[in-house]
Amino acid sequence: MTRIVAMTGATGFVGAETLDQLAEAGFEIRALVRRAQNERAHVTWVPGSLNDPAALDTLIAGADIVLHIAGVVNAPNRAGFEAGNGAGTANVIAAMKRASLTRLIHVSSYAARQPELSDYCGSKHLAEEHVRASGLDWTMVRPPAVYGPRDTEFREVLRVARHGLLPVPSVGRASLIHVRDLARVLVALCGGAGDQHVGALWEVDDGAPDGLSHKELAAAIGRALGRRIIALPVPQAALMTIARADRLVRGSRAKLTPDRVRYMCYPDWVVDPAKRPPADFWAPQISYDEGLAEIAASFKRG
């Protein structure tokens, strides 16, 4: 029997790829959206938002599983993060309970490991706490930095790096994952085999044992672009000054915020190997060299 997946965040970077893979795999999808979308096979668009109980009820009614991807990665203050990540998740859980639906796949972040580090980290941890306390049949997936052809963040990095110099935090290592690999594990969890992993908390990555240092990432980007890239370490204090200047110039549209600087400068965003999914259920297929080459080729084409 075809499973019906109720999905949040379907028009975002991760959600759009996951939606494509779900449709290709034969699922029927109900997707919560803020703006009107073009009709497409296997997808029912449900207008509304995470703070709209009636829309969430429509989204979830009759579904077999909820895939909660939507979240806030940039906000002007703690309240903005907690509204999008904490309260938004709590609202999804409440709607599931009203519908007597128990199966939830929640997309979190490595950030939830360090709730005191930044407002973003705290809000992702809060969302996980809501899931743990829900009494639902949940599985949580924490991705690291996610990249891919549709990603605007990594295109900005390439735009800077193409000149041969890439400013980076002074210390730290991080794991990566290509968006197609992340979508594959989420789609697998939506299938019947995923039901065997209720209560699991997984951290996913591209399989690089110790992630990448910022210098190694700069070198990998250089290989993708076909030129030498020099990593320029920038102290956290200097990044904070730049972030405050960005806030003065662009206000709420600022991309580099003090909150993001605290996140970026944390020294260890590397996968916990003990939390990787079982290899017989899912394993990454795209190395960072392969994935970065793909987005570099897209970047060069414009």
Q: What is the pLDDT of residues 3-56, one digit of tens each?
A: 999 999 999 999 999 999 999 999 999 999 999 999 999 999 999 999 999 999
CATH of residue 70: 3.40.50.720
Q: Other C-beta atoms within 10 Å of 262: how many?
A: 20
The neighbouring-strand residues paired with 140 are 106, 201
43 touches 29 (CB < 8 A): yes
pLDDT of residue 302: 62
pLDDT of residue 64: 98
Whether residue 255 lies inside any domain: the answer is no
Number of domains in the chain: 1
Of the candidates 41, 2, 35, which has an alpha carbon nearest to the alpha carbon of residue 19? Answer: 41
**Average confidence (pLDDT) over 182-190:** 98
Whether residue 92 lies inside any domain: the answer is yes
The least confident of 156-165, 250-259, 260-269, 281-290 is: 250-259
Q: How far apart are the C-alpha atoms of 111 and 277, rounded to whole Å?
A: 18
Q: How far apart are the C-alpha atoms of 262 and 219, rounded to whole Å?
A: 24
Whether residue 76 lies inside any domain: the answer is yes
Whether residue 110 lies inside any domain: the answer is yes
Phi, psi of 151 (to 5 degrees): -80, 125
pLDDT band at residue 248 under the 50/70/90 scheme? confident
Whether residue 124 lies inside any domain: the answer is yes
Q: How far apart are the C-alpha atoms of 233 and 166, rounded to whole Å?
A: 8
Whether residue 24 lies inside any domain: the answer is yes
Whether residue 45 lies inside any domain: the answer is yes
pLDDT of residue 60: 97
Whether residue 297 lies inside any domain: the answer is no
Distance of alpha carbon 188 from its chain centroid, rounded? Answer: 17
**Average confidence (pLDDT) over 129-153:** 95
Whole-number percent of the chain with pLDDT over 90: 85
Range of the domain at 107: 4-146+177-205+271-278
**Average confidence (pLDDT) over 287-293:** 96
Residue with tokens 């960005």: 246
